[in-house]
């Protein structure tokens, strides 16, 4: 079970998630400090570690639209957040998978800040409202990359497995 810490609407851009003025900072160890930098109180709470890993951000349709900046996903991954949205922009979703940022597509999701959600493979149960929402699973390969913790870990794991056979 995890708590919703932020609810957003449709078309949340990568510039909202990781403002362009911070693009000089690209290291995954440094990008989390600038997650939602223009949401001053929320950013402060993130950086003060007021939210537990696995806390949830709810988005509407087209979450992560805009530029292809990888930092929008890495800054959220750095806080170990879970992003549940009605839909994701294609490039943001691929960046999230590559970095191991947990993303869940739930087209009918309804949740508010402080709601408690229980997530399993095929559905999300909102304990606060008593409603259940279906999820759209990632493809097999994308899910394997996500489960491994990102593309680098996935590739390393496969290489080690291949080398162990030879």
Question: What are the tens digits of pLDDT across the range 43-94?
Answer: 999 999 999 999 999 999 999 999 888 999 999 999 999 999 999 999 999 9
Residue 114 is classified by DSSP as: T
* pLDDT tens sequence across 104-131: 999 999 999 999 999 998 999 999 999 9
Residue 166 has what pLDDT?
A: 65
**In the predicted model, is pLDDT for residue 157 greater than 80?**
yes
Q: Which is more confidently placed, 115 or 161? A: 115
pLDDT confidence tier of residue 103, bands split at 50, 70 and 90: very high
Residue 90 has what pLDDT?
A: 96
pLDDT confidence tier of residue 158, bands split at 50, 70 and 90: confident
* pLDDT tens sequence across 16-37: 999 999 998 878 899 999 999 9
Domain ranges of the chain: 2-136
Domain 2-136 superfamily per CATH: Aconitase, domain 4 (3.20.19.10)
Tell which residue, 119, 22, 35, has the closest CA to residue 77: 35
Residue 29 is classified by DSSP as: T
Sheet holding 131-134, edge to edge: 102-105, 82-85, 56-59, 2-7, 116-119, 123-126, 131-134
d(CA 53, CA 67): 26
């Amino acid at each position: 079970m995890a708590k919703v810490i932020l609810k957003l609407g449709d078309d949340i851009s990568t510039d909202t998630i990781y403002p362009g003025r911070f693009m000089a900072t690209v290291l995954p160890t440094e990008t989390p400090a600038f997650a939602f930098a223009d949401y001053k109180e929320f950013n402060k709470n993130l950086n003060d570690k007021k939210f537990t890993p696995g806390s949830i951000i709810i988005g509407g349709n087209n979450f992560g639209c805009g530029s292809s900046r990888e930092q929008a996903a890495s800054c959220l991954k750095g806080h170990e957040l879970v992003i549940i949205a009605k839909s994701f922009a294609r490039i943001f979703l691929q960046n999230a998978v590559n970095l191991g940022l947990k993303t869940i597509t739930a087209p009918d999701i309804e949740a508010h800040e402080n709601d408690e959600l229980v997530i399993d493979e095929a559905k999300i149960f909102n304990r606060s409202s008593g409603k259940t929402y279906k999820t759209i699973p990632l493809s097999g390969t994308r899910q394997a990359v996500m489960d491994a913790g990102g593309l680098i870990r996935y590739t390393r794991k496969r290489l080690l497995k291949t080398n162990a056979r030879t």
